[in-house]
Structure 1
C-alpha cells in the first residue's frame, strides 16, 4: 500500500531536519578550521557559508510549498516539526564553544596580572599619601631644599649606603667602586678594632662583643661605624641628613667638601635606606621654616 500523505511529509520533514543539522555542523566545522587572522581564507569561508545557507533556504522554500497540499491539522503538525528543528539548530549553534589559542590565554593571563599589579600600586600610593614614608619624604625634601639640594634615588639592593657614597665621590671625579669601598672598610675596621669594638654590643644581651665576634660582624655592624671608617679611608667628612634629628657628621677632622647622604627610615618595607643628593633643579620651591 502506498504511504499516506502525512507519512510522505514526515519523511520529507525528517530529511530536511537531518540536512539542516548536517549543514549546520559543516558550517561550524569550517569556522573552526580557519584562523581569524587569515583574512583571505576567512573571506572564502564567508562565501562558502553563504552558498550553503542559500541551499538550505531553497530547501526550506520547497518544504513550505508542500504545505499547501496538507490539511489544516497536518499543516499545524508539520509547522511544529519545522519550528522544533530550527530551535534545535539554533541551540546547536549557540553551544559551540569558541576556541581560544594558548597564546591568547597567555596574553589574557598577563593582562589580568598587570591590571592587578596596577591596582595594588594605586592602592599603595593612596595609602602612602598619609603614611610615614610620604611624610618623611616631604620633610627631607624641605630640609634639602633649604640647602638647594634634592634627593637622588639609590637602588635598594643591600648596598645603598656604599652606592650613595660612590655616587657622591663620582661627583668629585673620584673612581671608587662599591666592592672596593666595602673591602677597604672591612680591612680598616679589622686593623683598628680597638677604635670600634667599644661601640658594638650584642643586640640580644647588651654585652660588648668579643674580638672574635667583632671580626665576624664587621660587614654587618652599625652603618654609622662603617661611615666612620670610610671617612678615615677617604680622608673626607661625611654628613648624614635625617628627618627629625640634626645631621650627623663623621670625619670632621678632615678638610674638604663633605659627602652628603640622606638617611630614610621609612623608605622601604625592609627597613632603613640611604640615598644620595644632587643640586636642586627647581629653584622656585619655597622653603618652609
Structure 2
C-alpha cells in the first residue's frame, strides 16, 4: 500500500491544502448558482451577486481564523511540551492529566465547531425560498428609506460588527471586542435592569446571580449572539438610539430617550 503524501505534510501545509480544496469547491458551487439564474433576470442576478460576495467573504474569514488558531495551538503545544518534560523529571509514574491549555483548546474547538455549524445553516437558509422572500421585503423597506443593506457574516459577532461598522462613520473606534466588554460590564453594573428578563431554558426560572454572571462572561469570551438586552445596554453605553428593521413587523427602537441619529440594524429570522 502506498503512503498518503498528505501524511508527510505538517499541519500548516495540510491546512493550506484543505483551504485550496475548499476554495475550488466554493467556485464550483458559485458556478452552479450562476448557471441556475437566467442572465436576463436582473433582479435575481443582483441577489446572486450579493450571495456570492457573502460566501466568498465568509470563507476568507473562516480560513484566516483557522490559520490563526493553528498558529496559536502550535505555540501552546510548545509550552505544554516543556511543562510535561519538567513534570516527568520531578514526578515519576503519575497518570497523565489533561492540561489547562488542552482543556481551553478543546473548549475553543467545540465553540468554533458550533459557530461553523450555525454559519452553514445560515448559508443553506439564505439560498432557500423563505430567506429570499424575506430579503426582498427588507430590500423594499430599506429602499423606501433610501437605505441599503450591508452584508455581515453570521458568525455570532454580527450584531456587534454591524454597530462597529456604523460607528466608524462617526469617527468612533470601538471594536467588536470593546463593544462586547462594555456591554457585559454595563449589564453587570445594572443587573436589576436585565436579570428579570433572563430565564433558565430548562426550568423556566429567572437566572440566579451565578447564571447571570456566566451569561455576561460569555458575552465577552465567546461568540454568543446578541439580542435586545445587549442592544439596550449598547444604546445606554453609546447614548444613541438603535433601530431594528424587520421584514414582517414594525421597527423596534431601543434608547429612544437619546436625541442622536439612530444606528440602524436589520433583523432577519
How far off is 1:232 after superposition? 0.6
Alignment gaps of 5+ in structure 2: 1-16, 38-47, 49-123
Q: Is 1:165 aligned to 2:138, yes or no?
A: no
- Of the three residues 29, 38, 63, the one matched with 1:117 is 29
Partners of 2:239 and 2:154 lie apart in 1 by 26
Q: Is 1:234 aligned to 2:146, yes or no?
A: no
| Secondary structure in 1 matching 2:149 | strand
Partners of 1:221 and 1:157 lie apart in 2 by 8
Tell me which residue corresponds to 2:3. Answer: none
Distance 1:140 1:112, change over 3 A: closer
Partners of 2:24 and 2:149 lie apart in 1 by 35
Deviations 1:33-81 (A, max 9, x none): xxxxxxxxxxxxxxxxxxxxxxxxxxxxxxxxxxxxxxxxxxxxxxxxx
Tell me which residue corresponds to 1:29. Answer: none
CA contact (8 A) 1:235 1:251 kept: yes
- Equivalent pairs counted in the alignment come to 158
Tell me which residue corresponds to 1:138. Answer: 136
| Secondary structure in 1 matching 2:153 | coil
Tell me which residue corresponds to 2:153. Answer: 155
The TM-score normalised by the length of structure 1 is 0.49
Alignment gaps of 5+ in structure 1: 1-105, 266-289
Partners of 1:237 and 1:201 lie apart in 2 by 26
Tell me which residue corresponds to 2:211. Answer: 213
Partners of 2:253 and 2:184 lie apart in 1 by 20
- Of the three residues 237, 261, 264, the one matched with 2:265 is 261
How far off is 1:115 after superposition? 6.9
Tell me which residue corresponds to 2:118. Answer: none
Tell me which residue corresponds to 1:245. Answer: 249
Distance 1:118 1:239, change over 3 A: closer
The TM-score normalised by the length of structure 2 is 0.52
Higher strand share goes to which structure? 1
Higher relative contact order (CA 8 A, sep 6+): 1
| Secondary structure in 2 matching 1:151 | coil
Partners of 1:113 and 1:174 lie apart in 2 by 39
